[in-house]
Amino acid sequence: MKAMEPKAVDPTPPGAKVRYEWSGFPWWFLGIIGVIAYPVFKVLTDDTWNDGFQFIKAGMVLTIIVTLGGFVVAMVLGLVVALGRMAKNVFARNLAIFYIEVIRGIPVLVTIIFVGLVAWPQLMGALGISGRTGLASPAVKATMAVGMVYAAFIAEVFRAGVESVSIGQREAGMSVGLSRIQVFRTIVWPQAIKNILPALGNDLIALLKDSSLVSILAVRELTQMTKLWTGVTFQFLAGYLILAAFYLLLTVSLSILLQWYERKIATP
């Protein structure tokens, strides 16, 4: 009797294989270009729209600073909270769960107002830091606020990524004499970070959009600059279409980069 030859195994995950097959022309991308094209055309041909564009674009720098700064804060604090969430210490674990549930249970806008107008000024006062210093500026308060909000969500992303690494690999590392910290640093973390990067990218896009909420703290980012310009000129259609075009350009660019990375890690 002829022995059966083993079948070749496709290393590409089934979901990734189906997801990245050709699904036709990307009409959605043409639609986004169409949405952006109208305000661009008006900015190039209408002086009022051009004035609005010149005024609003001054908030781009602060939008990027708040987004990236808040994401760094969220990554650092989120990792600490995730480690506490997975800790065997009862106090650390319950404190981390308390933080996650409180932050996720309160609307983002309410948390931003509380951190920016209550918690952060109180902390600065307790540390004896003057309200005129850079640490008490609206941009810093906004950055800390969005960072603290997204830390709760990123903590769960970190936890899911770490727990996706099989316990057998951890036990194998400890069996050859590695400490828990060495196992985490050399075995668990390199695999976990690869799994969680797409989810972190989605959180970065969400944080970019939610950065518009810090306009409540008088931070002169894109949304606040739009509110100031439309409040004087009453050109609401022009102002908010220009604002929407700015956010679409930023979020779609990040989304394309994220999709490129997901295709890359799905390739065998």
Residue 70 and residue 25: Cα distance in Å, rounded?
36
Burial (CB < 10 A; 0-12, 13-18, 19+), residue 47, is exposed
Distance CA 157, CA 152 (A): 9
pLDDT at residue 194, rounded to an integer: 78
Predicted pLDDT at 19: 47
- Which pLDDT score, from 0 to 100, does residue 64 have? 94
Helix axes 90-105, 138-163, angle to 10 degrees: 120
* Residue 233, SS3 per DSSP: helix
Could you tell me the pTM of the whole model? 0.82
Task: Read off φ and ψ for residue 120, nearest 5 degrees.
Answer: -65, -45
CATH 1.10.3720.10 for domain 49-266, yes or no, is: yes
Q: Which pLDDT tens digit goes with each residue over 101-137?
A: 999 999 999 999 999 889 888 888 787 776 666 777 8
Q: What share of the chain is helix, strand, coil (3-state, %, to 5)?
A: 80, 0, 20
Q: Which residues of the chain have pLDDT under 70?
A: 1-26, 130-133, 265-268
Quote the radius of gyration of the chain (alpha carbons, Å). 23
Q: pLDDT tens, 35-70?
A: 889 999 999 999 999 999 999 999 999 999 999 999
